[in-house]
Chains A and B, each alone.
Chain A
Amino acid sequence: MPETLSPARRALRHPLLWPVLALAVLLVVNVIATPTFLNIRIQDGHLYGNLVDIVRNSAPVLLIALGMTLVIATRGIDLSVGAIAAIAAAVACTRIVAAGDEAALSTAVMAVTYAVVVCVLLGAWNGFLVSVAGIQPIIATLILMVAGRGISMAITDGQITTVNNPYFSDLASGYVLTLPVAFILALAVFALTALLTRRTALGMLIEAVGINPEASRLAGVRARTIIWTVYAFSGFCAGVAGLVIAANTNSVNANSLGLWIELDAILAVVIGGTSLAGGRFSLTGTLVGALFIATLARTIPNIGIPSEANYLFKAVVVIAVCLLQSPRARALLRVRRRGPVVPVLAKGTAA
């Protein structure tokens, strides 16, 4: 068919339409419940307000979801990100505590570098299991999801480790140019990911492997290297997220840090419009998805949902968003509105 669409129709077809719309609806609901919800004020040169909290709180999920987006684009999944985040926090905190000058800048830099390197290696381990050993991604990363908690418990001796380093805690609660450091950090990783995938050929090769692995192999694409790279990158993102979470409380509890965050990250990716079947991915979509999840977490207390119904409410909203995105569900809605339409029989192609 000829592609002559009006601007309005083109906007309706834009893949970011539904996630952005869902986010807007959520904000409107909040404004109805609390008219001052969107207010932002400046205090001590920092921005304050619900929106600022939302962007700061979205940082860990956004960080992890960026790595997850690339993994999912290769037809994979990374369940170990929560555990890797806990390991990053455990490594950094024990390093800081063990250092001679606990509060020094050099201590913080050393601890953060140490933790990030460990996480990249753990991600590479996942990549090894998937690309070389040929284990299904869900199983390969499940191993580290379970073992990683044990590793971080072992690093912290099962204790809640508290640190006292102002530079480290700035990762979560600091401000630069009136904005929270955590969000700026997440945006920086977002920009890094975009550069890494769209300025090099990595993005195109990731998508090719995700869409048609056999055609890519026959075209000479080194799928093994690509897959290894995305899992290592996912490990890196999870590590940075773990540091932000630990800096927020200046402590690490290996049992609970980053628990179930992999599910939020996967949700952010899916809400952002990247298909779990692999292939084309949208980093901007993931950004919107992560903001949506952070906004949702804020909405629950704001509109007075009792904390017992917390998870149930979240589930209902997520189902609604996913249904809105599903072309088949939308087609069903249309049939209802306009009366019966003869369904088009999917025929596949000639053998």
Chain B
Amino acid sequence: MSESPQPVAKCEISLTVNGQVVTVCVHAMDRLLDVLRHELGLAGTKEGCGEGECGSCSVLMDGMLVNSCLIPALQASGTNIVTIEGLASDGRLRVLQQAFLECGGAQCGICTPGMILAAHHLLRKNPQPTVEEIREGLSGNLCRCTGYMQIFEAVAEAGRREATT
């Protein structure tokens, strides 16, 4: 099991990131997080704990919320990834992003991209979540600034605004 072979060659992996098909030359065990940040220059996805505890590297993979620090690049091959950079379009923020701004849901900003992806994932499954459901939907995302209340309010507000538009 501990036998150490020659350095493993890189491989070409194609995936769709924010609607664009990209091909990168990486190691199969490179983390999706590093592929996004270093190969594709998408630095909006943050690294917090690097062990799936804090949620700051959250992205959507084929519509599912995942921690990109726990995804080997090879397992992302052929998938459809959405990062924080893929949420706003034509320079216009989404309702959810606008609600984070207005409700004070972001302070230092490290958790914010992951929070927004987790909230986006929640609202797509459940457009009008209760506070309990918001707490559960974001329970894998840690914030050390806000105390969470403004974040929960932002998500609830986004749900209300989407319902009336």
Note whether A and B form a binding pair: no
A-contacting residues of B (Cβ < 8 Å)?
Answer: none
